[in-house]
Structure 1
Amino acid sequence: MTGWRTHSGKAVALPVEGIDTDQLIPARFMSRPRSAGYGDYLLHDMRRDAEGRPDPDFPLNRPEAEGASIIVARRNFGGGSSREAAVYALKDAGVRVIAAPSFGDIFAGNAINNGLLPAQLATEDAEALIATLTEKGPQEARVDLDAGTLALGALRCSFALSDAEREKLANGWDDIDLTRRHHEAIAAHRAALAAARPWLWPAKARE
């Protein structure tokens, strides 16, 4: 996975709160292989009518939203089940950043591990962005991980990231990669422990 520190792309408002993982990708599509891509199923039942026809008034279906990579939504984005496929659907649809006042904890962790930024904004900042994007339509925005900012026109909104989260996104790492960066220290500790307490390891493991 390729890491990133800055991203410029089209931002679109999705002024809905409580979008959960079941809405992000309905369970019936999760039996499909990951290699086939989940982008077509993103928010499937919200974006389409009972016959499966796209709703032309849904924000992500409008022609001007095509190619949007930044979504600004309301609070509690990604709550519900722990399905990582919700993040896959966003990523496969080309989304790189979700900006909202709050996120489901598991969703946010899955997002970071897959290179998707859950940018937690102050409610007033999220509403200011939504108001601008609703009035003017999708606009270009820029996200800077090191500065912790999302800029759109005259609006400059801040979000917080831990050092570990920033490092993962910047390097394209997940939790395993974050641990592997300490492989030399881990190997040295293991060797020292094996020498001091050899009875902890089977004979074959010491060979």
Structure 2
Amino acid sequence: MTRLSKIEGVAAPLPIANLDTDQIIPKQFLRRIDKAGLADGILYDMRFDSNGDKRGDFVLNQPAYADSKILVAGQNFGCGSSREHAVWGLLEFGIKAVIAPSFGEIFYSNAMNNNLLLVALEENAVEAILRDVINPQYSQICIDIEAMTVRSHSQSASFSLSERHRRMFLEGLDMIGATLSMEDQIRAFAQAHWQHKPWLKDIAATTRKRLV
């Protein structure tokens, strides 16, 4: 995983409430067995018409927003099914962060555990940032993960993260890496547990031997 202390770049306005994971990546793109190519399916029905041609009026098809790293979205972003492909596809597409008033619960966990930063702000703060980025001249945003602040052209806002998620971004850890970083504490806990309840140590192996 990549260490991230700041995410800076063009932010695209996507003020659609309840944008679900089927809209983020439609079901026909779930047949892939790896992450490569998932970017093709991101927001497919919004980006392309029924003939497969790009919709010129969709924000991510416009030259000013073609290299967007951040989405500024509506409430309940990522609701719907638990498909992790939605997170993988956004990352493959080049999206590093999403700012919105709220997120689907499972999508939030999937995103934060895969290094896609989700920033929840009050609705009025999101609307103010949207007013900035809807103008391509003011589309640059800086998200400071260490200070937990967002700055747009005219706005500055603070957000919160759990210490676990903040550390994962700053240190470039996924869930396995975060767990392994606590290996000494885990080993010490296990030793203390087995000392207090020795009959529980290696109980599976002991039971298997008795059954053979």
Q: Same fold judged by TM-score > 0.5?
A: yes
| Contact 2:87–2:114 under 8 Å retained in 1 | yes
Find the counterpart in structure 2 of residue 84 from structure 1.
84
1:115 deviation in Å?
A: 0.6
Deviations 1:32-70 (A, max 9, x none): 131423111100012111112110100111111111101
- Shift in CA distance, 153/188, structure 1 to aligned 2, threshold 3 Å: same
SS in 2 for 1:36: coil
The answer for the alignment partner of 1:104 in structure 2 is 104
The 3-state SS of whatever aligns with 1:147 is coil
Please say if residues 2 and 172 of structure 2, whose CA atoms lie closer than 8 Å, have aligned partners that are also in contact.
yes
CA-to-partner distance for each residue in 1:117-140, whole Å, 9 max, x for gaps? 110011111111112222345622
CA deviation vs aligned residue, 1:180-202 (integer Å, no higher than 9, x gap): 22211221232344455443234
- SS of the equivalent of 1:146 reads coil
The root-mean-square deviation of aligned C-alpha atoms, in Å, is: 2.0
Aligned partner of 1:27 in structure 2 is: 27
The AA in structure 2 aligned to 1:117 is L
The Cα offsets for residues 65-114 of structure 1, whole Å up to 9 and x where unpaired, read as 11110110111100000111000111000101100001001111111111
For 1:203 and 1:85, locate their aligned partners in 2 and report how far apart those are by CA, in whole Å: 38
| Residues 1:96 and 1:158: Cα distance change in structure 2 (over 3 Å) | same
Match of 2:177 in 1: 177
The CA deviation at 1:152 is 1.2
Indicate the SS of the match to 2:119.
Answer: strand
- Name the counterpart of 1:145: 145
Identify the residue that residue 119 of structure 2 maps to in structure 1.
Answer: 119
Matched, 1:16 2:16: yes
After TM superposition, the score normalised by the length of structure 2 is 0.89
Which letter maps to 1:76?
N
Distance 1:151 1:190, change over 3 A: same
- Kindly indicate whether the alpha-carbon contact (under 8 Å) linking 1:121 and 1:159 is maintained by their aligned counterparts in 2: yes
Moved more, 133-142 or 62-71: 133-142
Whether the 8 Å contact between 1:125 and 1:157 is mirrored in structure 2 is yes
1:45 maps to 45
Equivalent-residue separation in structure 2 for 1:78 and 1:58 (angstroms): 19
Runs of at least 5 residues in structure 1 that lack an aligned partner in the other structure: none
Does 1:95 find its partner at 2:95?
A: yes
> In 1, distance between residues paired with 2:25 and 2:49?
15
Structure 1 counterpart of 2:132, one-letter code: T
Q: Is the 8 A contact 1:73 1:98 kept in 2?
A: yes
In the alignment, what sits opposite 1:135? 135
Question: Does the Cα contact within 8 Å between 2:4 and 2:171 map onto a contact in 1?
Answer: yes
Match of 2:210 in 1: none
The runs of 5 or more residues in structure 2 that have no matched partner are 207-212
